[in-house]
Amino acid sequence: MPEQREENYWVTVLVYFASFLIGLGIIAEIAFNWAHIPNHIKLIGAGVAMVINALALLWCMTGQKKILTQVVACIYGFLIMGVIGLIGQIFQLQANPENACLLWAFISWPLFIAAPRLLWLWLPMFFYGIRYLPPMFDEAIRGEIFGEWSGRADANLTIFYRWLAVVGSYALLCAYEVWQSFGSKTDNMVRYPLRFYSGVVIWGLYCRAAFYGENLASQWGFWHEIVVPALLLSGIFWVLNKKFRRFSFMPLFLLGLFAEYALILTSQYFNAAEPLWLRKSVLHIASTEQYLPFVFLLLMFAYAYYHKMPRLRIASIIALVMWFIATYSYDMFDLTPSLMLCATVGGCAYYARNRKWFNIAVIAAVLRVLGEYAYVDNLQYFGLYLIVAGVLLILTVLFLTRYSRKLWEKIDEK
Amino acid sequence: MKSKLLVPLLFLPVIVLSAIMLYYTAMCRLQKVEVVVEGYDPKNFFSGYYMNLQPNWLKTDCSQFADNVCPKEDFADHYNFYINVDHSAKLTEAVNSGVVKLVFSYDKGYRPLIVDLLVDGISYFDFIKAE
């Protein structure tokens, strides 16, 4: 039974990715023929497509078609994002992609009821989307302190929205914790959105530090908006968790947030002696990209160690060494070392009879190869490439799910 | 109870986005004003190509506004106008040489909404076709 569950898990992940590619391909194809379609037809077409997709999702859900439900939910999510972009372009709205991601977050959460795992697949997108929050706050601060909006009628209203956002964010975190302690554990309808938006708020606060760390200490509202509430809430949540004998990451998150901000503040006080990486911001995008695979491998090693899996432990050590060498010998994201890593992990996981890590290695290899050939200049061909890649991926999944049984039967016989 | 709630929840994006579409369609029916613009900067692959245009209030006819005063504070410092990548070269040339105006749907108390781009008095779409 657990093996079956594991298999379903990686099949689902791949199918999500394939539907993502197909959805993106369709968007690219529509974008290519953009100018030739009248605006009202575009809007009506978008509305009709959404209604059809929602109906298809309902049909899949009532018909207990699990995989198809997740695929349709995934396509629906991308369609919603596409329609947001469409509205922005037709009406020439002066909005940015971060705006679009935030609107998407606020209207598409019901999809998580249909396919809860979508939450984890789409988090990177939200990570990008909530980058909009820090500049929004900063802009409001500038207007408030330096009087840039003194002549504007909407200044007070914007300040009011800002405070509403700050208070609302912390209220959401409290609501999530209170629900975790007192609410029904089976009512996902409330639990999922609460968990999701609490995550968005936490990431938003972290991003503020990550992308705008440089000037934080000098900003008005630094202490009473971030530092004091983070400390206070982590204490309250810790007491709440202890009382109900429950473990939550929330107090740790908030304490981590406090530590991150304290680090920035301290670094600014010791300006002369601070290292360069600390001076600009705590997290750099480039270093995040570099260290993520490394952290991932370390986690893998910890997993193997914790579950007493000696072969996988060795595999992870080999992978770590190869990663280390690869950073010196090749470009970090070159195809060869990446595939070698995948092959090593996959091979060792196979002989350790660990299906989950074997599947992860296969997925990583497939994604890496697809990524390598994704750069096509012409939008029409790029759209076609994405659709074909998505279809091929689904066919590969179908093939592998049948073939892998024989593969595992062979190793089980030994 | 759950299944009864599910239907409206799944249609939430349709309802919200339809409301936004209707709102902006209605906003496009406000008074039309023409603001002279200049400057061009093709950028941002994420959403195709945009023309980065700055209002030139010195050349704009302020008599089209109330009290013959251009409400500069209601307008942004610059606007992004979406165009198809194939037309970028022609429009670059037009913006650099001719008189280009952004047509806004505008009324006091509302945010100006771009409805068209005029190149030498004709809509940019017709201008491209004519070229």
- SS3 (DSSP) at A101: helix
Is A58–B2 a contact, with Cβ atoms under 8 angstroms apart?
Answer: no
**What pLDDT does B14 receive?**
93
Residue with tokens 């590619």: A21
Residues of chain A contacting B113 with CB distance shorter than 8 Å: 91-93
- Alpha-carbon distance values, A354 to A195, A299, A311, A345, A347 (Å): 31, 16, 10, 10, 10
Together in a domain, B9 and B40:
no
How close A338 gets to chain B, by Cα (Å)?
Answer: 27
Together in a domain, B124 and B113:
yes
What's the whole-number average pLDDT of chain B?
80
Residue A225 DSSP class = I
Count of the separate structural domains present in chain A: 1
Residue with tokens 């992308």: A211
**The pTM of the whole model exceeds 0.80:** no
Q: Which of the four pLDDT bands, split at 50, 70 and 90, describes residue A275?
A: very low
Together in a domain, B97 and B123:
yes
In a domain? residue A277: yes
From the list A92, A110, A114, which residue is nearest B12 (CB)?
A: A110
Helical residues (DSSP H) of A63-117, grouped into ranges: 66-90, 97-107, 111-114
Is B17–A107 a contact, with Cβ atoms under 8 angstroms apart?
Answer: yes
CATH of the domain at B121: 2.40.50
Token reading at A216: 């934080």
**What pLDDT does A129 receive?**
59
**pLDDT per position as a tens digit, A48-78:** 999 999 998 888 888 777 777 888 888 888 8
Together in a domain, B55 and B116:
yes
In a domain? residue A162: yes
- Structural domain boundaries, residue A199: 123-283
From the list B14, B79, B114, which residue is nearest A47 (CB)?
A: B14
In a domain? residue A251: yes
Q: Which of the four pLDDT bands, split at 50, 70 and 90, describes residue B125?
A: confident
- Check whether A176 has a pLDDT greater than 60: yes
Is B113–A88 a contact, with Cβ atoms under 8 angstroms apart?
Answer: no
What's the rounded mean pLDDT across residues A378-386? 80
Identify the top-confidence range among A31-45, A299-313, B38-52, B86-100: A31-45
Whether ipTM tops 0.85, in short, is: no
**pLDDT per position as a tens digit, B26-82:** 888 888 899 988 875 544 434 446 777 888 888 888 888 888 888 888 888 878 887
CA gap A289, A186 in Å, rounded: 37
Together in a domain, B25 and B36:
no
- SS3 (DSSP) at A152: coil
Residues of chain A contacting B17 with CB distance shorter than 8 Å: 46-47, 50, 80, 83-84, 87, 107
Together in a domain, B53 and B109:
yes
In a domain? residue A295: no
In a domain? residue A382: no
Token reading at A381: 């061909």
In a domain? residue A83: no
In a domain? residue A27: no
**What pLDDT does A213 receive?**
46
Count of the separate structural domains present in chain B: 2
**What pLDDT does A381 receive?**
78
- Check whether A291 has a pLDDT greater than 70: no
Together in a domain, B68 and B6:
no
Q: Chain A window 214-273: which residues touch B at a Cβ cutoff of 8 Å?
A: none
CB of A150 within 8 Å of a chain B CB? The answer is no
- Structural domain boundaries, residue B66: 31-130
Is A34–B87 a contact, with Cβ atoms under 8 angstroms apart?
Answer: no
**pLDDT per position as a tens digit, B68-81:** 888 888 888 878 88
Together in a domain, B11 and B47:
no
pLDDT more than 70, % of chain A: 50
How close A165 gets to chain B, by Cα (Å)?
Answer: 21
CB of B67 within 8 Å of a chain A CB? The answer is no
In a domain? residue A276: yes
Beta pairing class for B122-123 and B113-119: antiparallel
